[in-house]
Amino acid sequence: MEIDTNQPATPTNVNDLQLYAQTELKLGEKITLSPGLHYNILAVNQVFYNNLQPRIHVNWALSKSTNIRMAFFNTYQYLHLLTNSSLGLPTDLWVPVNEKVPPQKSNQLSIGFSYKPHSILFSVDAYIKKMVGLIEYKEGSTFLNDFSAQWYDKVTIGNGDPKGVELFIQKSVGKTQGFISYTLSWTNRIFSDLNQGLPFPYKYDRRHSLSLNINHDLTKNRRISTTFTLQSGSLISLPTAQFNGVLPPAAEVFTPSTFRTNYTTFYSTLGNLPNRNNFRLPLYHRLDINYQTVRKIKKGERNWIFSIYNLYNRANPFFIYQQQQKLKQFSLLPILPSLSYGYKF
């Protein structure tokens, strides 16, 4: 009798109750304190999770144009992002907590400085975060290779410690306005069951992230906007060497008899993977441009917008796959013009 292993996942029934309170306190003329408290009760199947999540924000006005701020947040998240960092089409899934997989918890501390003498704002922030209860696929497990088990039987639980620095400059007055922002960050994971227990970078560790936006008013009714985006590529796991070896079957018990009868199936080319997420994809960058014209008419206002996405037709990598012993790149969304019309009464 053939067994159908492509069964739908067991439904997860969730009831959620949230309470939130926040206030603002003045400590003298220059210091503002904003404490808050978030209480959450989550009932999932037969399990109850209740969490008290405090947060506090402090702002110290050194002068009319200069501020120092500090914040602490304690948060819980009841959805997990489960990522696959192997070759081929990415299969990122959002999965809920249940009786086997608890919520993820994070504590974040940040400190920042801002200076705005006239029409230009200068800002810098540094942050550090501790995350507990993150999930990753176990070694050898993916969403696609085995439908006989539930997703929560294929994952292992670990921690993370993101940190980074954010720079921001903004001009908000005049015909030409815009901003530039840059983030330098590290997003590492630590799982006792993965990567020999050593820290490894998260799949979406964007070491460098740059955004530039410029808006210029050509006339009272016409505006042109440009946006440039640049990011470090995401990470995947690639073997650094290959060798011939025995590949145990995934769906049956491995015995000497099954090895003899299925030798050609089990004997295959295997890869040596020294570290998890050891290969970074090429830089992601693109330039978008937008032209907008607005005109008032008798009974309202009409708006034409002409846009070009990915102006210089950058072939950004969506995923990497192997073909004839070579790595090849698959890209989406080349240069893409669009025209839209809007009318407002």
DSSP per-residue letters across 172-183 = -SSSEEEEEEEE
Same domain, 209 and 165: yes
| Helix, strand, coil content of the chain in percent (nearest 5) | 5, 60, 35
Give the pLDDT band (50/70/90) at residue 185.
Answer: very high
pLDDT of residue 23: 95
Q: Is 294 exposed, middle or buried (0-12, 13-18, 19+ CB in 10 A)?
A: middle
Does residue 136 lie within any of the structural domains? yes
Claim to verify: residue 327 and residue 210 sit in the same structural domain: yes
Please indicate whether residue 241 or residue 184 has the higher confidence score (pLDDT).
Answer: 184
Whole-Å CA distances, 239 to 143, 156, 274, 321: 20, 22, 7, 13
Q: What is the mean pLDDT of residues 27-43?
A: 93
List own/partner pairs for 208-211 with CB under 8 A and 24 or more apart.
Answer: 208/182, 208/183, 208/184, 208/232, 209/181, 209/182, 209/183, 209/185, 210/180, 210/181, 210/182, 210/183, 211/179, 211/180, 211/181, 211/182
Cβ atoms of residues 129 and 105 within 8 Å: no
Residues 33, 159: one domain? yes
Q: What are phi and psi of 6, to 5 degrees?
A: -90, 55
pLDDT tens digit sequence for 17-28: 999 999 999 998
Do 338 and 289 lie in one domain? The reply is yes
Facing residues of 26 across strands?
32
pLDDT at residue 49 in the model = 93
Of the ranges 67-81, 249-263, 327-341, the best mean pLDDT one: 67-81
**Residues 151, 110 within the same domain:** yes
Burial 108-143 (b: 16+ CB within 10 A, else e): bebebebeeeeeebebebebebebebbbbbeeebeb
On the question of pLDDT at 110 being above 70, the answer is yes
Percent of the chain with pLDDT over 70: 85
Residue 84 belongs to a domain with what CATH number?
2.40.170.20
Amino acid occupying residue 209 = S
CA nearest neighbour of 18 among 46, 38, 37, 36: 38
Q: Count the domains in the chain.
A: 2
* Residues 233 and 267 reside in one and the same domain: no
Is the pLDDT score of 200 beyond 90? yes
Q: Using only C-alpha atoms, what is the Rg of the chain?
A: 26
Say which residue, 277 or 149, is predicted with more confidence: 277
Q: Which of 88-92, 101-105, 146-150 has the lowest mean pLDDT?
A: 146-150
The β-bridge relationship of strands 235-236 and 222-231 is: unpaired
High-pLDDT (> 90) share of the chain, % = 57
Q: Residue 252: what pLDDT?
A: 39
Q: How many residues are present in the chain?
A: 345
Mean pLDDT, residues 129-145 taken together? 84
Average pLDDT, the chain: 85
Same domain, yes or no, for 193 and 257? Answer: no
Which stretch of 146-160, 173-187, 245-259 has the lowest confidence by average pLDDT? Answer: 245-259
Which domain does 48 fall in, by range?
23-237+281-344
Instruction: Tell me what pLDDT residue 251 has.
Output: 39
Q: What is the pLDDT of residues 297-309, one digit of tens each?
A: 878 888 999 999 9
Identify the DSSP state of 195: G
Query: In angstroms, rounded to a whole number, what is the distance separating the alpha carbons of residues 170 and 178?
Result: 6
Residue 11 lies in a domain: no
Is the pLDDT reported for residue 339 higher than 90?
yes
| pTM assigned to the model | 0.82
Q: Which residue has the higher pLDDT, 7 or 182?
A: 182
152: left (phi over 0), alpha (psi -120 to 50) or beta: alpha
H-helix or E-strand spanning residue 311: none
C-alpha to C-alpha distance for 47 and 14, rounded to whole angstroms: 10
Q: Is residue 89 part of a domain?
A: yes
**Dist. CA 144–CA 146, nearest whole Å:** 6
Candidate from 118-122, 197-201, 264-268 with smallest mean pLDDT: 264-268
Co-location of 195 and 335 in the same domain: yes
The reply to whether 156 falls in a domain is: yes
Mean pLDDT of all residues in 23-50:
92
In a domain, residue 13? The reply is: no
**Distance separating alpha carbons of residues 32 and 26, to the nearest angstrom:** 5
Confidence band, pLDDT 50/70/90 cuts, at residue 217? very high
Q: Are the C-beta atoms of 199 and 245 separated by less than 8 Å?
A: no
Lowest mean pLDDT among 65-69, 92-96, 269-273, 300-304: 269-273
- The pLDDT confidence band at residue 272, using thresholds 50, 70 and 90, is low
Type of residue numbered 304:
W
Residue 177 maps to a domain: yes
Q: State how far the Cα of 301 lies from the Cα of 322, in Å rounded to an integer.
A: 53
Residue 133 counted as domain residue: yes
Confidence of residue 319 (pLDDT cuts 50, 70, 90): confident
What letter would DSSP give residue 260? Answer: H
pLDDT value for 37: 96
Checking if the pLDDT of 135 tops 70, the result is yes
